Amino acid sequence: MTNPAASPRHAFLDRDQSILAFNERVLDWACRADVPLLERLRFLAIVSSNLDEFFEVRFAPHHTARLTNEQRGVATVETYRALVERVHALVQRQYAIYNDELMPALEKRGIRIVVHGERNPRQRRWVREYFVNEVQPLLLPVGLDPSHPFPQVANKSLNFIVRLGGRDAFGRENEIAIVKVPRALKRFVQMPAVKGSKQLHFVSISSIIRSHLPDLFPGRTVLEFSQFRVTRHSDLALDEEEVKNLRTALRLGLQKRHYGQALRLEVSVGCSDFLANFLLEQFNLPPESLFRVPGPVNLVRLNQLIDQIDAPALRFERFVPGWPVGLVPGQSFFERLKQGDVLIHQPYESFDAVLAFLREAVEDPNVLAIKQTIYRTGARGEMTELLREAVRRGKEVTAVVELKARFDEEANINHAERLESVGAQVVYGIVGLKTHAKMMLITRREDGRLVRYAHVSTGNYNPGTAKLYTDLSYLTADEAMTADVDHIFGHLASQNRLPRLHKVLMAPFHLQKGMLERIEAAVAAVKAGLPAQIVLKMNALTDEPLARALVQASQAGVRIDVIVRGACILPAGVPGYTEQVRIRSVIGRFLEHSRVFYFRRGEEEELWLSSADWMNRNMLRRVELAWPVTDPALRARIMDECLHLYLADQRDAWLLQPDGQYVKAASLVGKGTRHGTLPSAQATLMARYGTKG
């Protein structure tokens, strides 16, 4: 990563390098002795999933620059080489942890993945029977010849390449064959236990197939083979100005996604140069794109293994979120919101309250209309079913469905069609912009007039991820706030000019400008001799205008703290440049996802919550919201739980150094301090709000 201290004064950190640095911090959880063994294995799988997405979404320009030897935006041959080198080092470390630490530790606990050479005769008989009955009927080897060219290989699918000796049925020496492994096959299978034994023995699907490859090629000799997996560019790109039906175009695009440009090739560590070079040629990949791995080519599938193991002692202690402190179970949400706003801090407080809010609206005969955005709601779609029930009960239901939510496109198309099938009004936002805002608006008749209630959130309407992501939900009956939300829904549906908003800042119109104005106001305060402070919490900081404004604020003397989970281009602590900037990243059991922006100028304070990270796309190419928290008690609570606790975290925090590297906050604590006694924001909040379950 570029050292900003030795760079021009306008230099920022490299965004893609910062993404890889984030994954190095995630990988650290797979090494931590205080983390249960199966959870360490899961963090290893998370890193693999993140790397898949990095290649699918971020890597194509660098790869093209390497192939053409021409610059593509900020991507060059040099950026390609630097990124590939870092990914190779990261993957090497992953497999070292897998082979040298986690697998031996699991074996000591009686859990083994048994390879062919270690199976006893009974196990070999069972594996063979499983292969014959469950696997072989689904395999179709493809021998390559002029009439059978190299087959289409789907993104991230498991395959085998086999080199054969002898001749085929027609007397030809076609030596290469491909075996595709269907996704329907379980990647890890538990073998029957020995009577009286508590040991758990598993076998991988790749091991089952490789042990019986000769059965797939009778009359031929298997000379060599390797499993392989290719990662492809998978970011859908549509010219929306030319598309007449976005939903249909996306369905067609989803079919092509699996066969985009090849960017990475993973093979077994023992794969011969002959087979590796053959595959590189087929996929038009340079040698640097080859990853030889000493283990499964897809560590993401370890999740299937983890889910089959019933060992509570090897998992995190079960956490049961409490009911939100601002709500009384059974009390009407509408009556409660007449008394003031309500904050729900997920996952420490239960997302079930949000579902209960919508359910009460669906069942209340006085509720006339429900409007909601759908970005990522999960495949199960509990909220979709509640909205469908609202239509059946005669309410006006409007859903703004974002079809272009990356990797959730198909699920959102299905949600849209299910809502339309019962008569809900479904709109797809505005051409060229993703609707990333999370908002719900309830309109209710009370005493002869219409009253509105709103829910806005930093996270998605997804009950599954709400148990894993930290987010803030905000319920309000504030007239100015709910009027703003109503105006935004009207704007998204009609695409008419947006009326003036009184409380909410909305991207792409006001949000970036509003944040820049507040940074500039902090600078003005310092110049007037007043204390000024900025504290920001977000997932990513990559928007250059906002980063540049923070640099200028630092140079003016504004104290700036940034809690940023992932990519960050803003350097920290560089003398004369970002001397007043401190940046930390907190990686914990839960994925940090809430966005909180605090500004202090003298005695004046502002606190904002938002659906948006400080990224260019969020500011200029998405529909996003930011809203102020004016209730003193709620503001104090957010300051404590989302900012102060995280700034004090020494157990899970990493600190960005002036040289662009991150170091563990725990490593800066005095020797002899036990890691488990260090302050942890997430541990504190779990203890504060969780219930025994």
Is residue 630 very low, low, confident or very high in pLDDT (cuts 50, 70, 90)?
A: very high
- Examine the pLDDT at 619 and tell me if it is beyond 80: yes
Round to whole Å and give the CA distance between 178 and 622: 43
The residues near 422 (Cβ < 8 Å, ≥ 6 apart) are 388, 391, 392
Output the known binding site for ATP: 50, 469, 565, 593
- Report the length, in residues, of the chain: 693
pLDDT of residue 5: 42
* 9-48 exposure pattern, b = at least 16 Cβ within 10 A, e = fewer: eebbbbbbbbbbbbbbbbbbbbeeeebbbbbbbbbbbbbb
Q: Tell me whether strands 469-476 and 342-346 are parallel, antiparallel or unpaired.
A: antiparallel
Round to whole Å and give the CA distance between 397 and 362: 10
Round to whole Å and give the CA distance between 579 and 389: 56
SS3 1: coil
pLDDT of residue 435: 84
530-586 tens-digit pLDDT? 999 999 999 999 999 999 999 999 999 999 999 999 999 999 999 999 999 999 999
Round to whole Å and give the CA distance between 233 and 257: 8
The residues near 398 (Cβ < 8 Å, ≥ 6 apart) are 369, 370, 371, 372, 424, 425, 426, 427, 489, 493
Q: Tell me whether strands 176-180 and 159-165 are parallel, antiparallel or unpaired.
A: antiparallel
Active-site pick, 63, 345, 436, 487: 436
Angle ∠(148,150,154) on CA atoms, nearest 5: 125
Taken in order 466, 404, 433, 60, the sign of the CA dihedral is: positive
Is residue 406 very low, low, confident or very high in pLDDT (cuts 50, 70, 90)?
A: low
The percentage of the chain sitting over the pLDDT mark of 70, rounded to a whole number, equals 91
Angle ∠(577,580,584) on CA atoms, nearest 5: 105
Tell me what the mean pLDDT of segment 470-487 comes to: 97
Q: Of 4-18, 27-41, 42-56, where does mean pLDDT reach its minimum?
A: 4-18
Round to whole Å and give the CA distance between 471 and 180: 40
Output the known binding site: 50, 376, 406, 469, 565, 593
Which of the 8 DSSP states describes residue 340? -
Which is nearest to 559 in space by CA: 513, 600, 603?
600
Residue 241 burial by Cβ neighbours in a 10 Å radius (0-12, 13-18, 19+): exposed
Which of the 8 DSSP states describes residue 146? T
Is residue 7 very low, low, confident or very high in pLDDT (cuts 50, 70, 90)?
A: very low
- Examine the pLDDT at 6 and tell me if it is beyond 70: no
The residues near 204 (Cβ < 8 Å, ≥ 6 apart) are 113, 187, 188, 189, 296
Tell me what the mean pLDDT of segment 345-354 comes to: 96
Residue 203: strand pairing partners: 189
pLDDT of residue 307: 94
- The more confident residue out of 5 and 545 is 545
pLDDT of residue 114: 93
pLDDT of residue 241: 44
Whether the link from the prior residue into 508 is cis, omega within 30° of 0, is: yes
Number of other residues whose CB lies within 10 A of the CB of residue 217:
18
341 touches 474 (CB < 8 A): yes
Is residue 412 very low, low, confident or very high in pLDDT (cuts 50, 70, 90)?
A: low
- Examine the pLDDT at 146 and tell me if it is beyond 80: no
Taken in order 641, 647, 650, 656, the sign of the CA dihedral is: positive
Could you give the angle at which helices 15-28 and 37-53 cross, rounded to 10 degrees?
Answer: 170
Could you give the angle at which helices 77-97 and 15-28 cross, rounded to 10 degrees?
Answer: 0
Q: Which domains does the chain have, with CATH numbers?
A: 4-314 (3.30.1840.10), 333-502 (3.30.870.10), 507-689 (3.30.870.10)
Q: Which helix (H) or strand (E) holds 291?
A: strand 290-293
Tell if the pTM clears 0.95, that is, is over it.
Answer: no
Q: Which helix (H) or strand (E) holds 225?
A: strand 221-232
pLDDT of residue 690: 87
pLDDT of residue 147: 67
Tell me what the mean pLDDT of segment 401-421 comes to: 70
Whether the link from the prior residue into 4 is cis, omega within 30° of 0, is: no
Pair of tokens at residue 395: 């309410």
The percentage of the chain sitting over the pLDDT mark of 90, rounded to a whole number, equals 78
- Examine the pLDDT at 81 and tell me if it is beyond 70: yes
Which residue is it, tokens 């066969």? Answer: 259
pLDDT of residue 8: 46
Q: Which helix (H) or strand (E) holds 596?
A: strand 596-601
499-519 tens-digit pLDDT? 999 999 999 999 999 999 999
Pair of tokens at residue 90: 């990261």
Write the single-letter amino acid at 37. Answer: L
Q: Is 436 a catalytic residue?
A: yes
- Examine the pLDDT at 243 and tell me if it is beyond 60: no
Tell me what the mean pLDDT of segment 239-253 comes to: 49
Q: Tell me whether strands 200-204 and 662-664 are parallel, antiparallel or unpaired.
A: unpaired
27 touches 97 (CB < 8 A): yes
Mean pLDDT over the full length of the chain:
91
pLDDT of residue 82: 96
Pair of tokens at residue 306: 């983890």
